[in-house]
Structure 1
Amino acid sequence: MKKEIQELLNELNNLKKNTLMNMMRIQFVFLSPQLNILIAKMPINQKIFQPFGYLHGGAVMTLAESVGSSVSFINIKNERKKNFKIFSIEISANHVQSIRKGILFAKAQIFHKGNTLHFIQIHIYNEKKNIISFCKLTNIIIIKN
Structure 2
Amino acid sequence: MGEHTAPLFPQEVIDEYAALGIDLPALFSAGHLGERMGVTIVEAAADRVVGTMPVEGNTQPYGLLHGGASAVLAETLGSIGSMLHGGANKIAVGVDLNCTHHRGVRNGLVTGVATPVHRGRSTATYEIVITDEQDKRVCTARLTCLLRDIPQPEAG
TM, length-normalised to structure 2: 0.78
Q: Displacement of 1:18 after TM fit?
A: 2.3
Q: How does 1:32-43 map to 2 (within 5 A)?
A: 35-43=46-54
CA distance in 2 between partners of 1:44 and 1:7 (Å): 33
Structure 1 alignment gaps of length 5 or more? none
CA distance in 1 between partners of 2:68 and 2:36 (Å): 14
Q: Structure 1 residues 4, 20: closer, same or farther in 2, change over 3 A?
A: closer
In the alignment of these two chains, the number of paired residues is 135
Greater gyration radius: 2
Read off the aligned partner of 1:114 and give its amino acid letter. G
Corresponding residue for residue 124 of structure 1: 130
Residue deviations 1:31-61 (CA, integer Å, cap 9, x gap): 46xx31111011111x211111111000000
Tell me, what secondary structure is at the counterpart of 1:48? coil
Q: Structure 1 residues 26, 120: closer, same or farther in 2, change over 3 A?
A: same
Q: Is the 8 A contact 1:87 1:139 kept in 2?
A: yes
**Going by fraction, where is helix more abundant, 1 or 2?**
1
Is 2:32 the partner of 1:19?
A: yes
Corresponding residue for residue 43 of structure 2: 30
Q: CA RMSD in A?
A: 2.1
* Counterpart among 101, 106, 116 of residue 112 in structure 2: 106
* Counterpart among 60, 67, 78 of residue 50 in structure 1: 60
Q: Structure 1 residues 48, 37: closer, same or farther in 2, change over 3 A?
A: same
Deviates more, 1:15-24 or 1:129-138: 15-24
Following superposition, which runs of at least 4 residues in structure 1 exceed 4 angstroms of deviation? 6-9
Structure 2 alignment gaps of length 5 or more? 1-7, 15-22, 152-156
Q: Displacement of 1:144 after TM fit?
A: 2.6
TM, length-normalised to structure 1: 0.84
Q: Is the 8 A contact 1:13 1:28 kept in 2?
A: no
Q: Displacement of 1:7 after TM fit?
A: 7.5
Q: Is the 8 A contact 2:82 2:125 kept in 1?
A: no
